Chains A and B, each alone.
Chain A
Amino acid sequence: MDDQNHGEGTPALSVHGLSKRFGNRVAFEDVSFEVGRGEVFGFLGPNGAGKTTTVRTLGTLIAPTSGSAVIAGIPLTPQNAVRIRRRISIMPESPGLYLRLSVAENLECFADLYQTPDPRESIARALRAVDLTDRANDTCASLSKGLRQRVALARALLGDPQILFLDEPTSSLDPVATRAVHELIDQLRRRGVTIFLTTHRLEEAERLCDRVAILNTTLRTIGRPDELRDQLFARSLTVTTLAPLPDPDRVFAGLPAVDGWRLDGRSSYRLAVSDPAVAAPAATRALVGAGADVLSISSLHHSLQDVYLELLGTDTSADERAGSR
């Protein structure tokens, strides 16, 4: 594929049946997905699920055993590795800074390796983005863990990447620094940078990601967080009244968008609904009409964590699988 063909309509990342084995050990298998340009894509999974190996494979650091991928419009082949690395940046989980060098010296080296046209300006911009301009001359050894992570993020921004792979970017950060990284990811999204975010923090994925994929050696699911919730969990309303209803079936049966009901406590009822926005007002009217004293009507919210646990809770963890081999 020609570089020029990488237009607005083409995905930033297109992966088809990608697998990686180390001898008999499967790191990940038959992984397929696409990531749109400017999308924040979350890549979730337990330890040992193959997330980092996937990132390293897409980053041309390791070769896939089978399958194919197109990264920033360039097919993933050994011959294209340098061209691909010019269009992407990877921030590994560990910052990997030269601790004896200053922040500016670290960035200077990488600005040259990315061959940025104006290294001084690129470094200044990257430092401003992570709010570290005043620490430019400090040695990295003197920085806290959180600040080192921010330097690593600044380093990843130097090459002005089309795709930014972030491997657990907030794993060692305090809440304030985490929020700063989240804001930076939002800024990058607005600038049209595609972000491939590997994280254990499910609330982070839910807050930042347009779509998420859950990997446990094989891809278990992929979609928008709310779609995944809908796929996995029936929508429901919880109705609580002051006293038990004498004939709940008469109240709830036949209501629009209500598919069924069950008792969920002494005077609490769980309604299976197809559309909460239609069912809730109808249920309220029916309850008032039946003379019930309504305490609450609430839509049951499933988090991404519920989705994750539902999908992976019964899986033997990847670590255990590796240990048993």
Chain B
Amino acid sequence: MSVSSRCIRAIVRKELREYRRTPSIVVAMTIIPLISLIQPLVLVFGLPSSSSGRLAHEHVLLYLLGIPALVPVLIAAYAVAGERQQGTLEPLLTTPVRREEFLLGKALAALLPSSVVAYAVYAVFIACVGLFADPSVASALLQWPQILAQVVFTPLIAAWSIWTGMLISAKFTDVRVSQQLGILAGLPTIALTSLIAFDVIHPTLGRALAFVAALLLLDALGWRIVSAAFDRERLITGTP
């Protein structure tokens, strides 16, 4: 089976155009990153230089990994349920588009903006801390391994969130229900990143590699499960 890049591009372009003009998606993509950014910044700016020693044992930057856990799941939860709700799924599925092309297009369209938003927030956070925080606090916070972890884990976490969101979206017809369940599904990932950020789970290179392997496995599994759950007949007729 060959996958058409033109079909995937068509879905991605259509999705990105729709996101730009859908207020609820723009709000979801803006509010969550802003909240995730402001709270740690306020915390960091208020820290005296004496706290740099304690910060060396915390990994505040990793707290921001909540963004790729939450933002894409909200978009992905809209992917199929949104099409069904606005009556556009049937015309789309009557075209020669394959299931794989449809799902990859939807997934990429969720991955691209959420990764851009996540990386932009990291960049703003790092720039603000570097420019305005106490220098000793800044040097304790901005550690290369953590920055590298952000870069590596962001797409992996986002992909997992997307498959989770799309699975929920394929199962539920109501967009709001789908998005609320999507947020709930994102909470375990946020809990895990928070435990690491506050050093409850101590991050080591070995653990990082194990997490990368686990996420790769989950992403591959997620793709298979979503593919299997995407049944044209059930989606069109609503039969169980």
Q: What CA separation (Å) do A89 and B49 show in the bound complex?
A: 68
Q: Is the interface of B mostly helix, strand, loop or mixed?
A: helix
Among listed A68-76, A111-119, A241-249, A251-259, interface-contacting one: A111-119
In the complex, per-residue mask of A34-77: 1 if CB is within 8 Å of any chain B CB, else 0: 00000000000000000001001001011100000000000000
Among listed B82-90, B112-120, B189-197, B207-215, interface-contacting one: B82-90
Whether A62 contacts B18 by the Cβ 8 Å rule is no
**Which residues on the A side are within 8 Å of B224 (C-beta)?**
none
**Which residues on the B side are within 8 Å of A62 (C-beta)?**
232-233, 236-237
Q: Contact check: which of A53, A85, A98 meets B94 at CB < 8 Å?
A: A85
User: Does A302 belong to the interface (CB within 8 Å)?
Assistant: no
Interface size band for A: 20 to 34
Whether A115 contacts B21 by the Cβ 8 Å rule is no
Whether A114 contacts B95 by the Cβ 8 Å rule is yes
Interface residues of B in 1-51 (CB under 8 A from A): 4, 6-7, 9-11, 13-14, 17-18, 21-22
Whether A61 contacts B90 by the Cβ 8 Å rule is yes
B232 to chain A: closest residue by CB = A61
Whether B6 contacts A98 by the Cβ 8 Å rule is no
Q: What CA separation (Å) do A108 and B95 show in the bound complex?
A: 13
Q: Given A62-B233, A105-B14, do A92 and B98 touch, yes or no (CB 8 Å)?
A: no
Whether B98 contacts A82 by the Cβ 8 Å rule is yes
**Which residues on the A side are within 8 Å of B98 (C-beta)?**
82
**Which residues on the A side are within 8 Å of B91 (C-beta)?**
90, 92, 95-97, 110, 152, 155
Nearest CB on A from B1, distance (A)? 9
Interface set of A (CB-CB < 8 Å, partner B)? 22-23, 53, 56, 59, 61-63, 82-83, 85-86, 89-90, 92, 94-101, 105, 108-110, 112-115, 152, 155, 159
Known: A82-B98, A98-B14, A152-B91. 17 other contacts (CB 8 A): A22-B239, A83-B96, A85-B96, A89-B94, A90-B94, A94-B90, A96-B87, A98-B18, A98-B86, A100-B22, A101-B17, A105-B14, A109-B11, A109-B13, A110-B10, A112-B9, A115-B7
12 contacts between A and B (CB under 8 A): A22-B237, A90-B94, A95-B91, A98-B18, A100-B18, A101-B14, A109-B10, A110-B91, A112-B13, A115-B6, A115-B7, A159-B96
